[in-house]
Amino acid sequence: MWHGVWRPDWGQEKPQVRLEWRLLRRVFAYFLPYWSHALVVLACIGVTSVIGLVPAFVTQTLIDSALKPHASFSRLLLLIGALIGASLLGGLIGVLQSYFSNLISQGIMLDLRNQLFGRMLQQSVAFFTKTKTGDVMSRLSNDVNSVQSVVSDTIFSLVMNVIILATTVAYMVTRDWRLTVVALVVLPAFLLPARQVGGRTFEARKETQAKLSEMTSYMQEILGISGILLVKAFAKRAIEAVRFGKINSELKQLNIRQGMIGRWFFMLMNVLGTAGPAVLWLYGGYLVLSGSESVGIVVTFATVLLGRLYGPVGSLANLHVNVIGSLAIFQRLFEYLDMAVEITDKPGAKAITDVRGEVEFDGVTFMYGGKGRPALEEVSFRIEPGQLAALVGPSGAGKTTITNLLPRFYDPQQGRVMIDGQDIRDVTVESLERQVGMVFQDTFLFHSTVRENLLYARPDATQEEIEAATRAANIHEFIVSLPDGYETIVGERGHRLSGGEKQRMSIARVILKDPRILILDEATSNLDSESERLIQAALQPLFKGRTSIVIAHRLSTILAADLILVLDRGRLVEQGTHFELLRKEGRYARLYQQQFQGADVSLTG
């Protein structure tokens, strides 16, 4: 069992993220629908930045005038009241800012999830055969959830720090330009190591997200109902626990590495944050002793204004770190959003309607992945409207490939697949899907009620129509015998039902859909005789009036077929009715003599 993670750029050198305008513009495009909310946030930031200067004004006034002998006590009360009021008002505005910031971040997350999910629904079956479900889930959950911190900790944090820095410097200059120059001397040192730290942070964050994706994939695989049954059946609990522990340990190390990157940089920031006030106290003390400046101004600069100056500068110095780290998240999301859709509508494609049900393969050649041995090679046949065609042949002959090409799960590299004379690549995918119904050998049911599973085929079906379909599929009596009837929960993947019951549910679902063309992997060979009898009876109304293509496992189906297609190693070697093929004494006749003659047994080869 392989526990790696497939990535669309596997085997290629991963591009380094740079602050390119194209990428930034794409990220900011997600903010445009929320521009009015952003204006409110920006207004809140501007107001709180100005309010944040009140403590500086109060501190200076208290020291220079309000705390002197014979000063007015009422003025002292007024200043203290202004300090408390400013704090209260700033807090209330901060709550409003947080609310609108969350509206924006959650809205962007909603948009991204919808886009990603829609993109995944558009992908071909081939994509899901080579991509782990857990990796897709990780992009939709873990990566998208990280966007919230991008909005709050990067975008608006950047704006807030710029505004705080600008208002603080402006206020400082109006008070004393000499002390302002001294306070600004150490600022360039904050910016020097930021770029290097930013690059390392990007790589660490991307590796951490990839490992988290691997863990999600692993858990989704093992903790699903099929996975956990396999683990228990083969007594692999200890081994799987070790595997999980290894992935978990690697994730821990990556998180530690990510957390420790830039610690020396931040230590330098702290040292500079101490050195700046020391220099200011030294020069400010000189000014006070020489009588050219007041104690209140120096104390205000050293204790209040420097904190408002160095905090935003430290954050802005770390801007490259935050932005590059944020772009790592968006890059992973864009990797999936930018994936080409293999199966899509051609320009000018039209819906296929009034389908008679003629199916034709014209010189079809198909290779999975576009290379290797052809799964089908120059296959040509025609099925007339309303006919039942049986696909016969050993494993790997190409039977399933034919049933995958007709609904356009894949497109052939050569040749045409046609319905009523139209190349199915010239019609819309959605209209084609409405005309084709499928009953799979591995029946899938949602973890929901019987009714909701049936209504998946046709949400507007009435109760009478549902019951007519279940009666035709020989499953109605069983459903009404359940504790909650049609409202009974079937369990994950329908695990509370037997194989035969799930198959009849699947048949009822297709009857409700009422397609013109039916594809059926006749999965009765592994069922008990009673389930097989019920399913065989359910198939008769399903075939009636439809063009049906069946991967045949039973002689009874082959005998009833209007056309038998015999496949071997991707080639169509024979076609005709049962008796026509027997008279030819070719591949089908030998197959019949080996596996069918004398009894209604299953074709297992």
Residue 176 is assigned to a structural domain of this protein:
yes
Residue 484 is assigned to a structural domain of this protein:
yes
State pLDDT tens for residues 201-252.
667 777 887 888 788 878 877 876 667 766 766 677 788 888 888 888 888 8
pLDDT of res. 522 = 63
The stretch 330-351 carries a mean pLDDT of 85
Residue 88 is assigned to a structural domain of this protein:
yes
- In the beta sheet, which residues pair with residue 222? none
Instruction: Tell me: do 93 and 34 sit in the same domain.
Output: yes
- State the pTM of this model: 0.70
Residue 345 is assigned to a structural domain of this protein:
no
Which is more confident, 363 or 255? 363
State pLDDT tens for residues 90-132.
999 999 998 998 899 888 888 988 888 888 888 878 787 777 7
The CB density around residue 601, as the number of other CB atoms within 10 Å, is 13
Which is more confident, 69 or 19? 69
Instruction: Tell me: do 313 and 373 sit in the same domain.
Output: no
Which is more confident, 517 or 370? 517
The position carrying tokens 């897709």 is 136
Instruction: Tell me: do 316 and 397 sit in the same domain.
Output: no
Instruction: Tell me: do 383 and 524 sit in the same domain.
Output: yes
The last residue of a domain, from among 281, 307, 337: 337
pLDDT at 603 exceeding the cut of 50: no
Instruction: Tell me: do 314 and 367 sit in the same domain.
Output: no
Instruction: Tell me: do 450 and 505 sit in the same domain.
Output: yes
Instruction: Tell me: do 454 and 552 sit in the same domain.
Output: yes
- In the beta sheet, which residues pair with residue 318? none
Instruction: Tell me: do 317 and 457 sit in the same domain.
Output: no
Note down the domain range covering 446.
Answer: 359-595
pLDDT of res. 591 = 80
**CATH code of the domain covering residue 530:** 3.40.50.300
Q: Write the CB contacts of 58 (distance below 8 Å, at least 6 apart in sequence).
A: 79, 80, 82, 83
Q: What Rg, from alpha-carbon coordinates, does the chain have?
A: 35
CA 346 to chain centre: 26
Instruction: Tell me: do 321 and 364 sit in the same domain.
Output: no
Pinpoint the alpha helices (H) of 234-305.
Answer: 237-260, 263-289, 295-300
The stretch 183-211 carries a mean pLDDT of 69
Which is more confident, 498 or 93? 93
Residue 308's pLDDT band, with cuts at 50, 70 and 90, is confident
Distance (Å, whole) CA 75 – CA 64: 13
Residue 605's pLDDT band, with cuts at 50, 70 and 90, is very low
For the ranges 32-46, 235-249, 513-527, 548-562, the lowest mean pLDDT is seen at 513-527
Residue 481 is assigned to a structural domain of this protein:
yes
> What's the domain count of the chain?
2
For the ranges 95-109, 277-291, 311-325, the lowest mean pLDDT is seen at 311-325
Instruction: Tell me: do 124 and 165 sit in the same domain.
Output: yes
**What is the Cβ-side half-sphere exposure of residue 195, based on CA atoms within 13 angstroms?**
3
Distance (Å, whole) CA 290 – CA 43: 42
Q: Write the CB contacts of 125 (distance below 8 Å, at least 6 apart in sequence).
A: 404, 409, 410
The stretch 350-365 carries a mean pLDDT of 92
pLDDT of res. 364 = 95
Instruction: Tell me: do 160 and 36 sit in the same domain.
Output: yes
Residue 9 is assigned to a structural domain of this protein:
no
Distance (Å, whole) CA 156 – CA 58: 28
pLDDT at 16 exceeding the cut of 70: no
The last residue of a domain, from among 269, 302, 337: 337
End-to-end CA distance of the chain, in Å? 25
pLDDT of res. 528 = 59
Whether 212 contacts 141, CB under 8 Å: no
* Average pLDDT score over the chain: 81
pLDDT of res. 459 = 87
Whether 385 contacts 357, CB under 8 Å: yes
Phi, psi dihedrals of residue 257, rounded to the nearest 5°:
-60, -45
> What SS3 class is residue 449?
strand
Residue 272 is assigned to a structural domain of this protein:
yes
Dihedral sign for Cα 105, 111, 115, 117, please.
positive
The stretch 527-553 carries a mean pLDDT of 74
> What SS3 class is residue 492?
helix
CA distances to 106, 107, 263 from 150, in Å: 11, 13, 21
The proportion of the chain whose per-residue pLDDT surpasses 70, expressed as a percent, equals 84
Residue 600's pLDDT band, with cuts at 50, 70 and 90, is very low
pLDDT of res. 189 = 63
pLDDT of res. 264 = 65
Q: Write the CB contacts of 517 (distance below 8 Å, at least 6 apart in sequence).
A: 355, 357, 359, 406, 419, 435, 436, 437, 546, 547, 548, 549
Residue 347 is assigned to a structural domain of this protein:
no
Which is more confident, 2 or 74? 74
Instruction: Tell me: do 516 and 405 sit in the same domain.
Output: yes
Q: Write the CB contacts of 583 (distance below 8 Å, at least 6 apart in sequence).
A: none
Residue 492's pLDDT band, with cuts at 50, 70 and 90, is confident
The last residue of a domain, from among 304, 337, 370: 337
**CATH code of the domain covering residue 94:** 1.20.1560.10
Dihedral sign for Cα 148, 149, 150, 151, please.
positive
Residue 427's pLDDT band, with cuts at 50, 70 and 90, is very high
DSSP calls for 51-119 = HTTHHHHHHHHIIIIITSTT--HHHHHHHHHHHHHHHHHHHHHHHHHHHHHHHHHHHHHHHHHHHHHHH
